[in-house]
Amino acid sequence: MNKAFFIDRDGTINKYIPYINNIDDFELIEGVSEAIRLINQSKWLVIVVTNQPQVAKGLLLENDVNKMHDKMTSLLSKDNAKIDGIYYCPHSPPNKFKNGNKDYQINCSCRKPKSGLYMQAQKDFNIDFSSSIFIGDTTRDIAVTKDIGGKSILLKCGLGGKDNKFPITPDHYCKNLLDAAKTILKK
């Protein structure tokens, strides 16, 4: 079985902007390319897992989300860094946005901290959760470890873990993704 770094997107890979929907605003956080390159050189996979309620809010189509992900992968590939898999939830809870796209405002099983996206990745890549790492800048990104196991790292960049939405004590606190990668890979 494989092990993975499950990495949040907004505030962890790219600079945090609430409900980011303009592709020109998508910028990598310093050190992210180096972090992913280090992971690429290890035995771990790089899996990005992200909630994109912008679709439910009516700010983006799924195609726009995919275009933003194309930008992310091309920025990283210029730095010789590679993401193995990208999984996103386009939903929001029911009746969250009055003028949004109602079809996406549902009780889905993929919106983090639910486990749907992680389960899909596990199936696609034959991943062992217990030896995997879950990283993000909010408790929402790491709360799933309570259900599926694995080690969690809460970052001080982005929202800095101050959302306090889900009761979870991370295994580590790190400054940013590069710090987290170095901590785990002992570089």
In the complex, the smallest distance separating the C-beta of residue 65 from Zn ion, rounded to whole angstroms, is 12
Query: Among this protein's residues, is 137 annotated catalytic?
Result: no
Report the distance separating Cα 115 and Cα 180, nearest Å.
Answer: 22
- Nearest-approach distance from CB 134 to Zn ion, in angstroms: 18
C-alpha to C-alpha distance for 162 and 155, rounded to whole angstroms: 10
Least distance in angstroms from the C-beta of 163 to Zn ion: 18
**Closer to Zn ion at the Cβ: 69 or 111?**
111
For Zn ion, the closer of residues 109 and 126 by Cβ is: 109
Q: What token pair was written down for 93? A: 């809870």
Direct distance between the N- and C-terminal alpha carbons of the chain, in angstroms, rounded to an integer: 24
* Binder of Zn ion out of 32, 38, 81, 110 (CB under 5 A): 110
> In which region does residue 39 sit, left (phi positive, over 0), alpha (psi from -120 to 50) or beta (all else)?
alpha
- 8 catalytic? Reply is yes
Residues that bind Zn ion (CB under 5 A): 89, 91, 108, 110-111
